[in-house]
Structure 1
Amino acid sequence: MGIKEMFPPLGEIEEERLLLGSKAATLNALAAKGFHIPPGFVVTAEAFERGGPGLTEALNEAADRTGHGPFAVRSSAAAEDLPGASYAGLYETFLNVTRDDLHDGIRRCLASAAQDRVAAYQSTLSTAAQSAPAMAVLIQQMVQPLAAGVAFTANPLTGNRHETIVTAVPGIGETLVAGDDIGEEWTVRGEDAVCNRSADTLNAAQALEVAGLARSVELQAGAPQDIEWAIDAAGVLFLLQARPMTALPEAVDWVAPGKGLWSRNFRLGEWLPDPMTPLFEDWLLPRIESGFLDGMQADAHVRVPFRYASVNGWYYNAPPVPSLRVLAGVILESRGRAPWFLFNALFRVSHNPAAAHRAVLGDLELEWRNELLPAYRRLVRKAEQDIDSATRNGLIELVDTICKQAGVYLWSLAIVGGSAWKMESALARFWQKHLSGPLHGTAPGETGYQALLRGLSVTTPGHAPHAVYSLDWYHPTAGEATPENHGQDARPAPGMAEALSAQRIDAEATARKALMDQPRVLAQFNSLLGVAQHYAVLREEQAHDLSLGWPVLRRCARRLGEQLVAAQVIDDPADIHFLTLEEASSPSPRHRPPVVSRRRTWQQQRRLDAPLTLGEPARIVGDPIARAVEAARTSHDLPEGAIVGHPASTGRVTGPVRVMHGPEDFDSFLEGEVLVAKATAPAWTPLFARAAAIITDGGTLAAHASLVAREFGIPAVVGTGDATRRLRTGQRVTVDGGAGIVVPVQIPSSRPPVT
């Protein structure tokens, strides 16, 4: 047999797949199809063992035909890189092997099949995978890359088959494959490449080229693929490996659950930055929504249910579908009060806030201070006394009662405190019409109307133990998660507060001076400014105590969970959050709910990029989120990799990113970092005193992040959609809160660019 027949080059090998191993067989087939793969050959275990005196000569001649070296010596087992058995990282790979060391490299690679870690992994696999024949060794000319990495033809986190994820590092890609480097990341959708994490490794054209290579491999294989690739100094792209993607989650669809525009940003959505756990969705959510309607009934004399739904576990809501029939029903049911009430609370507040305050909102504020909040506090104190002696039915009744009261409170927060952003919008329009010209170029003019809302004194106490990261009671309250912060002041430091107050007072004086010759306009300004400042403070006061009952609710859940553990229904008290209400209230020892699979589904849903809106907006109202983002896109020349959202708090700052997922990350947050989160709630407030800027996936002008960032005088961009995925901890960004834009800072590279 001739040398070429003994070790034919990749693309010409006719051995069976079982002898070549999966890796070599795949690359051999792709090379035969014309894919650009580093030249090489395969040595089977049988050939190596029986090669005899001619083996070294045959290896040398095959190596000479392959290239000038050095070489990569890589394992290729029959059971490797299969959908049910990846064997990732178990066998040895040797890089930059000289021709003189080829024989020893092959021997060591074959010997790695006998390692203990391989046997341990094999024991977890199917019988077919365990009984596969010995592996072969793939020898290839080394590519000396300027950049290398991996690419997935489906999003490995979400299962989205329309996205290709490209990850890159400078040089050899082993640090990425081994998990020592997270690398630069691109998401490619069609012909659109977006850099999620930038490290100045690839440009958009190169990301598209890598994605195109990966999709071509997928087309040949007929299934989503995970490839390794490299680009050499000449700019040539090589395919180094291809295998089926394993453990790929099922792709999900984001379909609106009904007509109109559905949002996960408004009402309860702001307080639910994660998908809902099953028990919260089945029990607490309906009770809170019912309490919300109780509050509406008390004030507007009507119940108009807002539509809400779970889409892939995420909370979405939409206003009622308008119709003459619904309107007539509202008028009749409320005996005429509802139209007058809603006119003031929803429409007039945006155009004449002072009049809305006099007509409706002022009385509702007094009702909240004198009746609603004291009643909520009394209810919680009573529950704290009763919880330890309560039966299962008693615990359920406590949960129902507290949630209904929280829903009534939420109604007051939505109508009263929720007026803050409508009044702010009115103030912004006034500024644009009467003050943006006269104050252009001055310090208040550069800051804009938001200077008028900074440095306001909020009368709530410091960081509260009942503050929450999420209203879903699965998550611990601030008192549980960060007990050391109980006494910490959740307000700007005295020096900062004084500076912000001085800036606000200066802006007020400058605005009044500019309007001095227009007494009627000046009077309008003073009236508008007064209510806007008052409700900006009031909103945070109200939001502070929405979750007043959550420590008690968490204790109730714990007690119920312990009872279910004793009844052998679940294994851990925390498992109760993955039951339905019926399973929790009427347990059966003969039926053990599928807690493990539900928890796994919830964890997968947490990794999804849930859209901020679903469905089609009404023509008259439109989509406010899309409008704000589009305005930022069209009014600025966006650099590559820019992230666009709502301009929530003015200012411009550059600093390092810290991506935060919840209270468990709070201790890692450092002074001067840019806080990046899905959303923020009162439990996050102490971090604002240390943050240089705020960026969130969700949120609007009415969101906690927007209001508190302005109080602290730091830039904020909210409603970005996916900043937590596109940014990485340590990455430097410039946050322009006035424009609603986040721009990654490109650090000059000491290595030559990939061309």
Structure 2
Amino acid sequence: MEDAARGARDAASTLAPAHVRRLEDLGDDAAGTVGHKAANLGLLVRRGFPVPDGVLVTAGEPEEALPDRVSEALSVLGEGPLAVRSSAIAEDLGDASFAGQYETVLGVSGPSAVLDAVRRVRQSAHDERVVAYRRAHGPEGQEGVAVLLQRMVTSEVSGVAFTANPLTGARQETVVTATRGLGEVLVDGEAAGEQWVVRGDHALRDRRAPTAVLTEEQALAVAELARRVQAVFDDVPQDIEWAFAGGRLHLLQARPMTALPDPVRWESPLPGGWTRNFRIGEWLPEPVTPLCDTWLLARMEARYAQVSRERLGVYPPLPLHVTINGWYFHSPLGSGGLRPMLGIVRRPRILWALVRSRRPDVGERVVWARETSHWRDELLPRYRALVERRSADVESADDVGLSAIIDEVADAAGEYLQSISSVGGYAWKVEGVLADFYARHLRPTLGGSHQTLVSGLEQPRALDPHAIQSLDWFRPTAGELGIPGGVPRAHAALVEERRRAEEACRGALAPKQRADFDRILALAQKYARIREEQVPDLTLGWPLMRRALARLGESCVRRGVIGHAEDVYFLEREELFADESRASSVAERRTLWARNRKLCPPLLVGTLPRLVQKMQDDAFAPMREPAERRPGMLEGMPASAGRATGVARVILDLADTDRLAAGEVLVTSATTPAWTPLFARAAAVVTDGGSLAAHASLVAREYGIPAVVAVGDATQRISDGQRVTVDGGAGLVEVHTT
């Protein structure tokens, strides 16, 4: 194909006037007279790339010579239709692209129309927007504009491609954006288009157009073309424009990418292993805002550590988390390795309860019955009373008083979080014992998963007004959003399914094993119910804290610290009482937060201690049903048993949940209580993060739908609209290609 194109150009060149500058005739030093855009295309033509034929009107041509130059160009290219574009001397530089600044005229035919288009392009060099851009970015003294005339490509599909991710800087990703018809609507920002992210030989459609634009094969072909262009220009990341016409892929333009961020690195500032999907991380499906990080999380974790020392003898050294590219990562041991656990040696009853892990009834008698009573009889009533009492003070409190309210509620939430990690964590440990018993004594005979035995224990709880979409107080609560509760699935059917599973297990066991099974099952079901009851009330204080923060934001606006009250979330704690404006810092932080929100963070940064990693591996192994693993399958944690096949709906924002139709598979970064109504519609749930104790795991069991959590990058590897099969017992997701 490229040889044929070269032959056609050679034939045309024998007929062209000697002083007409064709793309293929441009030398390596041509940029000074024809601009970098044309010079780059000339090099690509000589390398055999499928660039439409083009002729240059150089920057130095006087106005009176333009009619002759246009006539000469048309003798080479024909009457049209043509595309008439700028190729300014200062355009398409590595640090100044001038993208979209100069005039472009498409589909022009005939001498008069082409001459008018050439004049319009040249005149656009004096437009206000170009002059302003040149002052800010362009080199001094390079104002000349050559004009490139090319045969028009009447494209069925066209677009742009970047050989590095322009948001994250990832050099291993090529981002392809496409639209039907001409690609100028993308370049000019008039349409968003369909977007693909290509990694190696895998293409993922991560933004859909109303109707499909590219096939996966076409997206891969565009990415391969873009990478070949990059190789020509010494591997400098490139921004290309392309088009498909008559089934053939054309290269329309190539320029170096500008303002490309450094590649994102996931490195912890502290030693040890730091996880995304543990404890608070399960409640933070996006980067944390500065005020949440420096105030709420810091306060909660300080109180959490204090109560852990007082009640369990565990001494986790602060900080318990780090933020990497804005994302929260937690260490179960803090920054002190295994040393924090040594305090348990001074608490022999707790140590005994942990050592006898295969006898969870011992642990309950020694520790967790007491901890459960403390939560239900003391901690929860005290938390509720605090929120009710301090709610009456918000409207009358001054800034210092508002800060005190938030401190008190954050402390209470930190103490409540410690109780969840203790009592709710024990529920997970008991379930692990049940899973191990099932794997050793029942799965060989009955198959399946232990998860059916701890599913459908309670009718799904009505959505609380304090249910959140993120632990970060930046996001409104369910009560503020007016989110209606979901329609629960037939709870009686889940109860009956669990009852039949229990009877089948008892029938398959000898009397001694049956007694052990009943003891473990009763305890696992008891603490699963407690966990489901306990977890939703962690955020009782969030509506109150958001009201207090709204008033603090208004105060900051009056003092000129920020421009809008909602900007308060992008201040740091110590900046709340500043005397000077922080508007520029807030704007920078908002931009960075939005950029980081598009990242897909890893589940683990650093390395966990070998003992901790082994404990995790040993605990998870019996929870997974045996299953055939085929190439391309995604693997995560088995969170809720069952299999379901349906259309994947990738949703990253609660505002987009109307897109999920009944019977579709919800694919998201993580779910929190405000997402609960979606479980009534979903056939299954798949999340990037989370754990067996996370919201998605618990609620999926209540609704009786399969769930796989902690896949890591499901939202990056599953395209919206693809058909998938979710195996919640095995923790596998199969993506169907047809």
Cα drift, residue 354 of structure 1: 2.9
Deviations 1:491-539 (A, max 9, x none): 624xx21222221112112222222xx0111112112222222222221
- Which residue identity lines up with residue 421 of structure 1 in the other structure? W
CA distance in 2, matches of 1:399, 1:303: 25
1:475-501, CA deviations, whole angstroms, 9 ceiling, x for partnerless residues?
A: 111111x2252xx3x5624xx212222
Change (3 A) 1:707 1:18: same
Could you tell me how far apart the structure 1 residues matched to 2:405 and 2:428 are? 34
Change (3 A) 1:232 1:682: same
Structure 1 residue 599 corresponds to structure 2 residue 598: no
What corresponds to 1:365 in structure 2?
372
Residues 317, 336 of structure 2: 8 Å contact kept: no
Alpha-carbon distance change, 531 to 28 in structure 1, aligned in 2, over 3 angstroms: same
CA RMSD after TM alignment: 3.8
- Quick check: 1:270 aligned with 2:261? no
TM-aligned CA deviation for residue 269 of structure 1: 0.8
Asked if structure 2 preserves the Cα contact closer than 8 Å seen for 1:48 and 1:55, the reply is: no
Indicate whether 1:161 and 2:153 are aligned.
no
- The CA distance in 2 between the partners of 1:132 and 1:116, in whole Å, is 11
CA distance in 1 between counterparts of 2:532 and 2:482 reads: 22
Using the TM superposition, name which of 321-330 and 243-252 deviates more: 321-330
- Are the counterparts in 2 of residues 469 and 662 from structure 1 also a CA contact under 8 Å? no
After alignment, is 259-268 or 422-431 more displaced? 422-431
CA separation of 1:322 and 1:404: change in aligned 2, threshold 3 A = closer
* 1:187 paired to 2:198: yes
Partner of residue 10, structure 1: 23
Is residue 420 from structure 1 mapped to residue 417 from structure 2 by the alignment? no
1:674-714 deviation line (CA, Å, top 9, x unaligned): 22221111111122112222121211212111121121111
Q: Do the aligned partners of residues 653 and 702 (structure 1) sit closer, same or farther apart at CA in structure 2, a change above 3 Å counting?
A: same
**Secondary structure of residue in 1 paired with 2:674:** helix
SS where residue 87 of structure 1 aligns?
Answer: coil
Deviation at 1:430, TM superposition (A): 2.1
Q: Residue 105 and residue 264 in structure 1: after superposition, are their counterparts in 2 closer, same or farther (change >3 A)?
A: same
Say if 1:590 and 1:605 are closer, same or farther in 2 by CA, change over 3 A.
Answer: closer
Deviation by residue 1:289-347 (Cα, 9 ceiling, x = unmatched): 1111232133214533363212122111223367786565553xxxx21x532553x56
CA contact (8 A) 2:637 2:710 kept: yes
* Paired amino acid for 2:87: S
Contact 1:661/1:677, CA 8 A, preserved across alignment: yes
Matches within 5 A, 1:431-450: 431-440=438-447, 445=448, 448-450=449-451
Which secondary structure does the structure 1 equivalent of 2:579 belong to?
coil
Query: Partners in 2 of 1:110 and 1:57 — Cα distance?
Result: 14
Q: Say which SS state the counterpart of residue 467 (structure 1) adopts.
A: coil
Task: Between 134-143 and 305-314, report the one with greater CA deviation.
Answer: 134-143
Q: In 2, are the aligned partners of 1:90 and 1:117 still within 8 Å (CA)? A: no
- The answer for the alignment partner of 2:478 in structure 1 is 478
Matched, 1:37 2:28: no
For the residues of structure 1 that align with 2:277 and 2:75, how far apart are their CA atoms? 66
655, 676, 700: which one pairs with 1:685? 676
Match of 1:213 in 2: 228
Could you say which residue in structure 1 is the equivalent of 2:113? Answer: 104
Pair 1:528–1:122, CA change in 2 (3 A)? farther
CA gap of 1:144–1:652, structure 2 versus 1, over 3 A, is farther
Moved more, 208-217 or 164-173: 164-173
Letter aligned with residue 185 of structure 1: W
Shift of 1:550: 0.7
Does the residue aligned with 1:389 lie in a helix, a strand or coil?
coil
How many Å separate the matches in 2 of 1:560 and 1:523? 59
Amino acid at match of 2:605: L
Secondary structure in 2 aligned to 1:709?
helix
Aligned to 1:126: 135
Structure 2: distance between partners of 1:529 and 1:466? 32
Match of 2:161 in 1: 151
CA contact (8 A) 1:143 1:232 kept: yes
SS of residue paired to 1:27: helix
Q: Secondary structure at the match of 1:227?
A: strand
Q: 2:564 aligns with which of 559, 562, 572?
A: 572
Contact 1:168–1:201 (Cα < 8 Å) also in 2: no
Partner-residue secondary structure (3-state), 2:204: strand
Give deviations 1:125-172, integer Å, cap 9, x for gaps: 526759865644434456688976533222111122343334567887
Q: CA deviation at 1:374?
A: 0.2
The correspondence of residues 374-523 of structure 1 with structure 2, limited to 5 A, is: 374-440=381-447, 445=448, 448-458=449-459, 460=461, 462-480=462-480, 482-485=481-484, 488=485, 490=486, 492-493=488-489, 496-515=490-509, 518-523=510-515
Per-residue deviation, residues 564-618 of structure 1 (Å, max 9, x unmatched): 222222222222222222221x322477772222222222222222211101232
- Supply the distance in 1 between the matched residues of 2:229 and 2:66 (Cα, whole angstroms): 40
CA separation of 1:106/1:322 partners in 2, compared to 1, >3 Å: closer, same or farther? same
Specify which of 282, 286, 298 is matched with residue 310 of structure 2.
298
Find out whether 1:733 has 2:724 as its counterpart: yes
Letter in 1 for 2:362: A
Distance 1:636 1:8 in 2: 62
* CA pair 422-183 structure 1, distance change in 2 beyond 3 A: same
Contact 2:562 / 2:582 at 8 angstroms: preserved in 1?
A: no
1:99-120 CA distance string (max 9 Å, x none) = x647634643653665799644
**Is residue 676 from structure 1 mapped to residue 689 from structure 2 by the alignment?**
no
| 8 Å contact kept, 2:640–2:728 | yes
Q: Is 1:241 aligned with 2:241?
A: no
- Alignment partner for residue 295 of structure 2, among 276, 283, 291? 283
How far is 1:731 from its partner?
4.3
Contact 1:176 / 1:183 at 8 angstroms: preserved in 2?
no
Q: Secondary structure at the match of 1:545?
A: helix
Is the Cα–Cα contact under 8 Å of residues 81 and 152 in structure 2 kept in the other structure? yes
Aligned to 1:224: 237
Contact 2:725–2:735, Cα closer than 8 Å, also in 1: yes
Q: Deviations over 1:171-211 (max 9, x none)?
A: 876676566464362332xx564535596331797476335
Say which SS state the counterpart of residue 488 (structure 2) adopts: coil
Residue 309, structure 1, aligned to residue 322, structure 2: yes
TM-score (norm 1): 0.83
SS at match of 1:3: coil
Taking a change above 3 Å as real, the CA distance of residues 9 and 55 of structure 1, as seen in their structure-2 partners, is closer
Q: Matched residue of 1:546: which SS?
A: helix
Q: Which runs of 5+ in 1 are unaligned?
A: 748-755
Please say if residues 458 and 537 of structure 1, whose CA atoms lie closer than 8 Å, have aligned partners that are also in contact.
no
Give SS of 1:309's match: strand
Q: 1:530 to 1:314 in 2, by over 3 A?
A: same
Which secondary structure does the structure 1 equivalent of 2:165 belong to? coil
Given that 2:625 and 2:729 are in contact with CA atoms closer than 8 Å, whether structure 1 keeps it comes out as no
- Cα deviation, residue 284, structure 1: 1.3
Alpha-carbon shift at residue 389 of structure 1 (Å):
1.9
Per the alignment, in what secondary structure is the counterpart of residue 393 of structure 2?
helix
Kept after mapping to 1: 8 A contact 2:432/2:619: no
Q: Is the 8 A contact 1:106 1:137 kept in 2?
A: no
Q: Provide the rounded CA distance (Å) in 2 between the counterparts of 1:194 and 1:38.
A: 27
Q: Distance in 1 between matches of 2:388 and 2:338?
A: 45
C-alpha offsets along residues 9-40 of structure 1, whole Å, 9 cap, x if unaligned?
Answer: 31322585364244222212343456553443
Larger CA deviation: 709-718 vs 589-598: 589-598
**1:26-56 per-position Cα deviation (integer Å, ceiling 9, x unaligned):** 2123434565534432234776954588657
What SS does the aligned partner of 1:720 have? coil
Q: Number of aligned pairs? A: 711
Task: Note the C-alpha offset of 1:728.
Answer: 4.7
